């Protein structure tokens, strides 16, 4: 069985092994595959693994040997699921592998906006503390999280984990739900509609999936509902936030800070509106990247293939 990994350099830039997958067949890991190279590289493969390399209907129709697409991520919008199903191709994902890592990144971004560790480290390394007359100093205002309100959009496992951590920091947690009477397993805090939740929230953290209802959820109209000076964190998907509107809100001061591990187009284009915006903290989609998290990802991806080969596929999304 021929297995091709089209963007192996993302999940495994060289610090992990593909040896498990070798038990299932001949594996060819390509560090990166450009769109025009997909058909050539996947032509003879029965199994393809992808992280962000896109499988359109046009591409799928030109791969007659393909039987299985394994997405090395939780989100699977890179594959035309309808086309895959029509051609008898099983598509799987890796759910929930990065729950703890994403919650950790969310809190890291939250604390960076309040404690400014990076700025102060750079200042100390530049010699500012050596020159200081006082035993301490700060380059930007510092903020205590105790008694601040945080609204959480997306009440799945990541949202619940973030809620619990924020609560342990003394924050008042508010969940955002379309139906506040609905039960959200694992979420034990007050739930309000979006407009009421953001009206008094000091912080807003996004953990919802990207779909038609969440795309551009944060735009100039919804931002107008925010409490003045709110800080927003996005570790979900870039297109949930209208970046032009967010940049304007940062410039006006309506939004006091925006911290995100994701943007609308990745890698970031040169004309991204967030580049250079004030009080904007960006990381290059690294929430999922700890070694332990990627080990878990590849382990589940291997088990997905093994289950498929045995005739009892798991984590099927189409």
Q: Do the strands 68-71 and 172-176 form a parallel or antiparallel pair, or are they unpaired? A: unpaired
Q: How far apart are the first and last CA of the chain?
A: 22
Give yes or no: 237 in active site. Answer: yes
Question: Which one from 237, 243, 294, 296 is the annotated catalytic residue?
Answer: 237
Distance, in Å, from the CA atom of 152 to the CA atom of 276, rounded to the nearest integer, reads: 26
Give yes or no: 285 in active site. Answer: yes
Q: What is the CA radius of gyration of the chain?
A: 22
178 burial type by CB count under 10 A (0-12 exposed, 13-18 middle, 19+ buried): exposed
Tell me if 311 sits within 8 A of 67, measured CB to CB: no
Question: Which one from 26, 40, 58, 266 is the annotated catalytic residue?
Answer: 266
Question: Which one from 207, 231, 285, 294 is the annotated catalytic residue?
Answer: 285
Active site residues per annotation:
237, 266, 285
């Amino acid at each position: 069985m021929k297995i091709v990994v089209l963007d192996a350099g993302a999940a495994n830039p060289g610090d992990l092994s593909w040896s498990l997958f070798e038990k299932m067949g001949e594996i060819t890991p390509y560090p990166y595959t450009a769109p025009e190279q997909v058909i050539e590289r996947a032509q003879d493969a029965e199994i393809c693994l992808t992280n962000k390399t896109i499988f359109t209907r046009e591409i799928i129709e030109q791969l007659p040997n393909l039987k299985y697409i394994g997405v090395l991520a939780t989100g699977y919008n890179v594959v035309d699921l309808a086309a895959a199903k029509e051609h008898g191709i099983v598509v799987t994902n890796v759910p929930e592998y990065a729950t703890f890592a994403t919650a950790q990144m969310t809190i890291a971004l939250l604390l960076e906006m309040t404690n400014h560790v990076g700025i102060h480290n750079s200042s100390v390394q530049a010699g500012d503390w050596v020159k200081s007359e006082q035993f301490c100093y700060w380059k930007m205002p510092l903020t205590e999280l105790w008694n601040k309100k945080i609204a959480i959009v997306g009440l799945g496992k990541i949202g619940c984990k973030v809620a619990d951590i924020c609560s342990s920091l003394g924050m008042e947690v508010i969940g955002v739900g379309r139906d506040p009477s609905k039960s959200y397993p694992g979420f034990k805090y007050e739930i309000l509609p979006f407009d009421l939740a953001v009206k008094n929230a000091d912080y807003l953290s996004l953990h919802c999936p990207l779909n038609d209802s969440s795309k551009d959820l944060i735009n100039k109209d919804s931002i107008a509902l925010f409490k003045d000076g709110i800080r927003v964190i996005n570790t979900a998907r870039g297109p949930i936030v209208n970046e032009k509107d967010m940049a304007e809100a940062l410039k006006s001061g309506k939004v006091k800070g925006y911290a995100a591990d994701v943007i609308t187009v990745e890698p970031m284009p040169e004309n991204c509106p967030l580049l250079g915006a004030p009080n904007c903290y960006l990381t290059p989609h690294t929430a999922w990247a700890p070694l332990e998290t990627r080990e878990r990802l590849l382990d589940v991806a291997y088990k997905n293939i093994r289950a498929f080969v045995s005739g009892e596929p798991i984590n099927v999304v189409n």
